[in-house]
Copies of this chain bind each other. A is one copy, B any other.
Amino acid sequence: MLKIKIDKESNTPLYLQLYRKLKEKIVDELSADTKLPPIRKLSDMLGINPATVVKAYDMLAQDNLIYKKVGSGSFVAPAAVSAGFKEDKNDSMLNHGQIKLDKSINFASATPSTDLFPVDDFKYAINHVLDRDQGEAFTYQKSQGFLPLRKYIQDYLKSKSIYNNLKEIQIVSGAQQAIDIIAKILLDYGDKVVVEKATYFGALQAFASRKAEIKSIEIKRDGLDLDELEDYLKKNKIKLFFTMQNFQNPTGVNWSREKQQHLLELAEKYNFFIVEDDLLSDLYYTENAPSILKQLDKNERVIYIKSFSKVFMPGLRLALIVLPQKLLPEMLETKYATDISSAGLTQRAFDYYLREGFFEKHISLKRNLFKKRFEVMSEEIDKKLPEEIESFIKPEGGLYFWLKLPQGKDSSKLYEQAAEKGVVFSPGYLFTASSAKSEYFRLSFAAVDEKEIKKGMDILSEVVRDYLGSSDEDDFSPLL
């Protein structure tokens, strides 16, 4: 019998304790296909709520450490044990589609395929700054970032109607680090955070690491349900609201101007910060760029994150934060305590790359290329998927479509069947804090060309029809 001890006095949530303990057991001790205790039994044994056990089991399943057999329970996955934590298995990244699955058609990855990166131009920029700056390129940079880059970014943002002081601009090592640092500055144990339902998993992880309480609020076709938000705000003091305002991940939603204004008013009225993660506003396929919340921010309520590397070259790890003045001192301290400074060579090379106009050129080319893919995918969805599959919206930019299976269906199951046939995508539970089953799934066209899109949609269409035709039993759902 499994020996597990849970500490009910601990600050760590029970489901997380259980998840970690089980993970250890699985990796270190248990043999493949060992049956885990039934949910009721384990919850009785530990004196905890069955839902807590379900949550821990779901997280293990999400890590591919256990598998579920309909009607008979959960079992240790052979891969988890035989290989320990195998070199070639990085579950978080696989789940997020950031690993190349060579043999599959990859509708999961939101990262452009590597042939789209401007390697030659960037190589030119690196060599230029190495010749120019010599050893200076390799010493510590200031924690706030390389000054000329920050100056250039100030002008660049001005050209997008985002006005700010130079001192408000902080360079960081990618958007994930931006979120992590902001979480460190603003969140203590038990602080409350609101996120969009659904949202980016990495943000949820960063907030969870600060032991924040995360509340998800429904996103509509034009932005958050602000009535639901205000109801929540009336009863709860929150520290921050995390949002992607344009081509939201995963829904593709653009917030309307009205909702943006209303959100800013709520932030003022209820005194919280808005963290705007702008990952894709450059990738619009309509005539005009969408409206960025930070443009409307008169009262320093918005902490604005912009990743330069996301669509450009994600491995660069480069992003910026524009932040309210009152957070500046803590930002400097926290960036320093996090990794001292971002790599100097990267900052210098990217500065030169921007100044030479390479970046604008690159984004403009990519916009055209992705627009083409977007149109093909949109057409394929309409043409090939059965009518029961709903599109949440038809996005006006970005890299993905958010689709919905009929009520009661589970996109994880569809995923399993599709993966067997050589097509992967992102099931909806990856974008929620709860890891409950979801009817939604995200199809991304970042890493597939037009031919692959068509081929992949042929396969997916067949799998969907098969799946919709089958009956769907889930031994876990009664407990949720």
Q: A interface vs B, CB < 8 Å?
A: 10-12, 20, 23-24, 27-28, 63, 84-87, 90-93, 98-99, 111, 113-117, 119, 122-123, 126-127, 130, 134-144, 147, 166-167, 173-174, 176-177, 180, 184, 188-190, 202, 205-206, 208-209, 211, 313-317, 325-326, 328-330, 332-334, 336-346
Contact = CB atoms under 8 A, between A and B. Distances in A.
B325 A343 contact: no
Nearest to A191: B11
B115 A119 contact: no
8 contacts: A27-B325, A28-B325, A84-B325, A86-B167, A87-B166, A90-B144, A126-B130, A343-B346
A188 B11 contact: yes
A373 B144 CA distance: 32
Contacts of A344: 315
Top 9 A-B residue pairs of the complex, sorted by shortest distance between their CB atoms: A114-B135, A138-B313, A315-B344, A205-B337, A117-B135, A177-B339, A138-B315, A92-B336, A98-B140
B315 A93 contact: no
A-side binding surface: helix, strand, loop or mixed? helix
Contact of A317 (B28, B147, B208, B343): B343
A332 B24 CA distance: 14
Contacts of A139: 111, 114, 117, 313-315
A307 to B, nearest CB: 11
B123 A130 contact: yes
A154 to B, nearest CB: 11
B142 A114 contact: no
Contacts of A90: 142-144, 332
Contact of A316 (B136, B173, B177, B343): B343
A117 B345 CA distance: 13
Contacts of A86: 167
Contacts of A137: 119, 315
Given A140-B315, A202-B336, A316-B343, 9 more contacts: A28-B326, A99-B142, A117-B139, A138-B315, A180-B337, A180-B339, A202-B340, A338-B338, A339-B339
Nearest to A327: B24
A373 B99 CA distance: 48
Contacts of A333: 92, 205
A378 B142 CA distance: 31
Contacts of A91: 332
Contacts of A174: 339-340
Nearest to A100: B139
B27 A141 contact: no
A446 to B, nearest CB: 11
A277 B11 CA distance: 28
A171 to B, nearest CB: 12
A342 B314 contact: no
A197 B92 CA distance: 39
B330 A345 contact: no
Contacts of A337: 176, 180, 202, 205-206, 208-209
Contacts of A147: 87
B340 A343 contact: no
A275 to B, nearest CB: 15
Contacts of A205: 333, 336-337
Given A174-B339, A339-B173, A119 B135 contact: yes
A346 B343 CA distance: 9
A330 to B, nearest CB: 7
Given A205-B333, A315-B345, A176 B339 contact: yes
B167 A328 contact: no
Contacts of A24: 326, 329
B316 A345 contact: yes
A322 to B, nearest CB: 14
